[in-house]
Structure 1
Amino acid sequence: MPHLLQGLHHRIHRALGAACIATVALLAGCGTLPSQEDRPETHSIAPSAQGPLGSAVVPLAQQHPGKTGVVAIDDGHVAFGARIALARAATRSIDIQTFIWHNDATGTLLFDEAMRAAERGVRVRILLDDLNTVGLDPTLALLASQPKLDLRLYNPYAGRSARGLGFLADFTRLNHRMHNKSFTVDNVVAVVGGRNIADEYFEAGADTGLVDLDVIAFGEVVKSVSSEFDLFWNSPSAYPAKKILAGVEPESRQALARRAQTIRDDPTTAKYADAIAHAEVVQRMLAHTLQPEWTTATVVHDDPGKTLSPETRTELLLLPKLMTAFGKPVKSLDIISPYFVPGNAGTEALASLAKQGVQVRVLTNSLAATDEKSVHSGYVKHRKELSQAGVQLFELKPEAAPIMARANEIGRGSKAGLHAKTYAVDGRSIFVGSFNFDPRSARLNTEMGLVIDSPAMASKLHAVVGDAYPSIAYRVTLAEDGSLRWADAGGKVYTTDPETGWLERTFVDIGATLPIEWLL
């Protein structure tokens, strides 16, 4: 009899669960995604020595066969200006892959620039993850209506309203996102890094500026960046925006142009125009005077199958490829990751390296600087074990330099946050890309980046981490009683997370006790 009652209870529970899901789906207006049967498959256009970019880059690359030219960009204004200048120089193609594209000042200007390129005959392909597109549908519908501009939404919401309920109804699928970022022009120049397209990522936000890193690449690796784009573009999760946005009234072309012109004319946003006018890296490229570092670079990325299949084979995931490309650290491992959630396995691996004599150093956001308090809860539970093993932990201050040296351009009351995801091994090679050191990047989202053999860049990163304390970061240490301490530049020592309130700390402490680390 007890077994019968248990079985009945189980069936009732499942039936109620199914009914709840069905109700949520109905409330969310969740339809089904359109068929992909008639979706055309397109690929990157072969590079050419024609046009301003091709004539500048192709001959230079031919002088360095098999090599990649790289230039790092750590200034958000320069990163924004470079994208605008590259788009304006395009004559054949622009391929943009991104996780976020906001309708703010920088986002509007880049929307307008993409339209302008398409209007003059450039083939523009935009692959945009659909998680953060709330309120964008009219603008996206406008872009999708331009004959030379092809927009696809990655892993989209079937229903465009009540997204929160839609997310719950289709949680397993929609919890997997495309976090990749690349900006490739004429298939001869590619920008790869951690920046999304929004004001805060270009240090133009009124409230927050994010410290980030991009690499402009030329030569051999660009074809691999384009191949990665094509793989995701033609994947089952990339849906033509025209089908997803059927019935949406597009924003008028004139309205977008007016919004963009208003931004260009506004004295308070003159820094954007200045960034465009002084995109020195692109101007030097076009003038044939740019001297990048020529080296070996490798694209590492997840397979898009990771989005739909949790059982994606390990060899198709980015993390094992990254570890293979780097090799085992012997002397040093420097990690810059805004969301650092090593988990038990990662903590054990880093602790083991430190105990073997490898200098392991981590620069991540402090609780006061992070924009994701819940993610921070997955980090705090491992701080003590990492410190005990000899891993050096540095936490970025919210008023961190060098970004705050430009605070008058960002806005009063601004704070800095870390967004760069970059790692260096033994002062010889460096990763720049979208991969955070956390379970979400490892298991849920798709990611990409470049592994660059560059002692110069790796040594610079090593120095940045080494110089972080005391100028821009607190150093986390252990007291004699085993509790954590935060050291400041002035010799002040904190016994709790600096510049935070008890409510923030309590929220994070509670989060650290919950079984949610796999989601972070």
Structure 2
Amino acid sequence: MSNYWGAVVGSLGLLLGGCAGLPENTGRLESYQLADTEDTRLGRVSAAGLAADVSGFQLLDSGIDAFVARVALAREAEQSIDAQYYLLHDDMTGHLFLDELVKAAERGVRVRLLVDDMGLEGRDESVAALAALTNFEVRIFNPFGRHLGRLSQFITRFGSVTRRMHNKLFIVDGQAVVLGGRNIGNEYFEADPALAFGDLDVVGFGPIATDAARSFDAYWNHDLAYPVARLVDSPLDALAARRFRHYSSEYIEQHAHDYAYYFDALRNSWLTQQLNAGSLSLVWGQARLVSDDPDKLVTDRRQTELHLSRELEPYFLELEKSLLIFSPYFVPGREGVEFLEALVERGVRVRVLTNSLASTDVPVVHVGYARYRRELLRAGVELYEMNRQVRAPAKREGWNFTGSSKASLHAKSFVLDGEKVFIGSLNMDPRSLVENSEVGVVLEVPEIAQEMLEWFEHDIDRVAFRVSLEQGSFGSERLRWDGWSGDQPVVFDVEPYTSVWQRLGVGLLRVLPIDSQL
């Protein structure tokens, strides 16, 4: 019977797969980062560290600051902008972001925009209009077929379209780069009243930007990166471009009143002011870009030499004192639990901040964390879960969740021995480590490591629940969550701020072997 159904499914896959077939992606022109950008304004900022081969950095923990930094750099662009994102939303910050790219292209800057296809359903007309602009190229990474529903392709192309480009890079003139956890959308930049992500980016100048540009080029020229003209049926002509510009301008104008604070921030950009004054405040140090090879998405998952995790492994093996993990989706798996347990056994203090069931934006991922929670606690790993009801700024000058009805962690970072920091797009889960592609930077900058540790020590009890195991009667164990509600301490013996139905759903899913897809 199993052979029969296997044949049926296989035949269905061939039938539907043929309908969903992608055009050949041959004959496209390769392009690379532009040379000789040292004399640009951003190049002169980078020159300060060239002699010592170091890069300059500034954390971008406030959502508004992170958006303003991208806009300020785009306005400084003289030769090129390369933007690589997993998601680019059709909302206010998405339109403002594209508006800056379009304006840069109009003044002669070469713009290359590389976007994963996961969030582009129904937006081919807009994408085609962008690609019709002068000096503006758009490529779509790992696209879905345009003549068959996406749901069916998740079935017929499972293992292919389920592997996504999760990278996030914004590079200007090959001299400055913004990288970290943020996609382009309101919830990532403190512009969504319903959901505020606590996230983390870093802006870097110098060699790190050159390394990021090389990583971008590898993806841009890969076989999975399709020029828009090869893929979509919408026309790439001047009329389409004009229509998009008109639509985008109207959208921004209609919603400007609701985002007045954004326009104030853009007008008073701290980055622009510091650049104009020649007083950009940067911390300089050694840094290493770590990135998955784009071939990771088309090769056997066991080819770990293509994986970013291989580059990070030495940093974890060298740990002596402490490891602090920020990961919104934390699915350690059996191997991860054993590794963290071994770290604790040799005297390394391990602390993890992740989302609670109430704060996560992807509840199913909580299943892959909850099944290991008790074991991690028994091993001595310290666990903290985000309090979705945070109302005050989660950092004295950043990570501001004020005014949102739900706070959620989205930052992906590690602090190693209080001396090194990883900031990037990598979650601590099988999807990031094995399925998707990711990028990040390891900063050997103790000042930044200490800044993040100080934030954690000062504010963690106010923004998260400390999870612990409590001994019950007859040797039983139960979980306990200690946190704050306003100015009052609170204690929960079930997942905070969840319903019985939410908890029941997680309990039922825990019996399924789904960790590899989380």
TM range (shorter): over 0.9
Report the secondary structure of 1:143's partner residue: helix
Aligned to 2:304: 314
In the aligned structure 2, how far is the partner of 1:182 from the partner of 1:253? Answer: 27
Aligned to 2:12: 20
Deviation of the 1:169 alpha carbon: 1.6
Residue 34 to residue 271, structure 1, CA distance change in 2 (3 Å)? same
Aligned to 2:208: 221
Report the secondary structure of 2:84's partner residue: strand
Aligned with 2:508 (options 486, 510, 517):
510
Q: Which amino acid aligns with 1:16?
A: V
Residue 91 to residue 365, structure 1, CA distance change in 2 (3 Å)? same
Deviation of the 1:466 alpha carbon: 2.8
Aligned with 2:42 (options 48, 53, 58):
53
Aligned to 1:441: 432
Tell whether 2:252 aligns with 1:263.
Answer: yes
Deviation of the 1:195 alpha carbon: 0.4
Report the secondary structure of 1:267's partner residue: helix
Aligned to 1:190: 177
Aligned to 2:374: 384
In the aligned structure 2, how far is the partner of 1:117 from the partner of 1:280? Answer: 20
In the aligned structure 1, how far is the partner of 2:91 from the partner of 2:396? Answer: 23
Deviation of the 1:415 alpha carbon: 1.4
Structure 2 unaligned blocks of 5 or more: none
Aligned with 2:329 (options 317, 321, 339):
339
Q: Which amino acid aligns with 1:485?
A: R
| Identity rate, percent | 38
- How do 1:286-435 residues align onto structure 2 when only pairs under 5 Å count? 286-311=276-301, 313-325=303-315, 327-400=317-390, 401-402=392-393, 414-435=405-426
In the aligned structure 2, how far is the partner of 1:406 from the partner of 1:459? Answer: 16
Deviation of the 1:99 alpha carbon: 0.3
Aligned to 2:60: 73
Aligned to 2:482: 487
Please say which of residues 91-100 and 348-357 is displaced more in the overlay.
348-357
In the aligned structure 1, how far is the partner of 2:11 from the partner of 2:235? Answer: 30
- Check conservation: 1:363, 1:465, Cα contact below 8 A: no
In the aligned structure 2, how far is the partner of 1:228 from the partner of 1:480? Answer: 50
In the aligned structure 1, how far is the partner of 2:408 from the partner of 2:446? Answer: 27
In the aligned structure 2, how far is the partner of 1:388 from the partner of 1:325? Answer: 25
Q: Which amino acid aligns with 2:13?
A: I
Deviation of the 1:65 alpha carbon: 3.0
- How do 1:110-129 residues align onto structure 2 when only pairs under 5 Å count? 110-129=97-116
- Check conservation: 2:83, 2:171, Cα contact below 8 A: yes
Tell whether 2:40 aligns with 1:42.
Answer: no
Deviation of the 1:280 alpha carbon: 0.7
Report the secondary structure of 1:503's partner residue: helix
Aligned to 1:178: 165
Q: Which amino acid aligns with 1:143?
A: L
Please say which of residues 396-405 and 37-46 is displaced more in the overlay.
396-405
Please say which of residues 107-116 and 210-219 is displaced more in the overlay.
107-116
Structure 1 unaligned blocks of 5 or more: 1-8
- Check conservation: 2:142, 2:225, Cα contact below 8 A: yes
Deviation of the 1:284 alpha carbon: 0.9
Tell whether 2:477 aligns with 1:474.
Answer: no
Deviation of the 1:333 alpha carbon: 0.2
In the aligned structure 2, how far is the partner of 1:35 from the partner of 1:287? Answer: 50
Per-residue CA deviations over 1:395-435 (Å, capped at 9, x if unaligned) read 0111224259999x989552111100000111010000000
Aligned with 2:22 (options 33, 36, 39):
33
Residue 504 to residue 23, structure 1, CA distance change in 2 (3 Å)? farther
Report the secondary structure of 1:39's partner residue: coil
Aligned with 2:273 (options 252, 274, 283):
283
In the aligned structure 2, how far is the partner of 1:286 from the partner of 1:373? Answer: 45
Deviation of the 1:146 alpha carbon: 1.6
Deviation of the 1:259 alpha carbon: 3.0
Number of paired residues?
506
- How do 1:124-203 residues align onto structure 2 when only pairs under 5 Å count? 124-159=111-146, 162-203=149-190
Report the secondary structure of 2:443's partner residue: strand
In the aligned structure 2, how far is the partner of 1:434 from the partner of 1:130? Answer: 17
Aligned to 1:272: 262
In the aligned structure 2, how far is the partner of 1:240 from the partner of 1:471? Answer: 47
RMSD across aligned C-alpha pairs, in angstroms? Answer: 2.2
- Check conservation: 1:435, 1:447, Cα contact below 8 A: yes
Q: Which amino acid aligns with 2:39?
A: Q
Residue 159 to residue 262, structure 1, CA distance change in 2 (3 Å)? closer
Per-residue CA deviations over 1:307-346 (Å, capped at 9, x if unaligned) read 1112463222111211224542111000000001101100
In the aligned structure 2, how far is the partner of 1:161 from the partner of 1:33? Answer: 11
Q: Which amino acid aligns with 1:484?
A: L
Aligned to 2:494: 496
Aligned with 1:205 (options 192, 202, 206):
192
- Check conservation: 1:145, 1:242, Cα contact below 8 A: no
Q: Which amino acid aligns with 1:52?
A: R
Relative to the length of structure 1, the TM-score reads 0.92
Report the secondary structure of 1:513's partner residue: coil
Deviation of the 1:270 alpha carbon: 1.1
Residue 127 to residue 259, structure 1, CA distance change in 2 (3 Å)? closer
In the aligned structure 1, how far is the partner of 2:478 from the partner of 2:15? Answer: 49
Report the secondary structure of 2:119's partner residue: coil
In the aligned structure 2, how far is the partner of 1:352 from the partner of 1:465? Answer: 23
Per-residue CA deviations over 1:51-108 (Å, capped at 9, x if unaligned) read 4333x4244234x431010111101111111111111111100000110001100001
In the aligned structure 1, how far is the partner of 2:72 from the partner of 2:341? Answer: 44
- Check conservation: 2:126, 2:244, Cα contact below 8 A: no
Deviation of the 1:373 alpha carbon: 0.3
- Check conservation: 2:55, 2:204, Cα contact below 8 A: yes
- Check conservation: 1:206, 1:411, Cα contact below 8 A: no
Please say which of residues 140-149 and 485-494 is displaced more in the overlay.
485-494
In the aligned structure 2, how far is the partner of 1:406 from the partner of 1:254? Answer: 40
Relative to the length of structure 2, the TM-score reads 0.93
Q: Which amino acid aligns with 2:469?
A: L
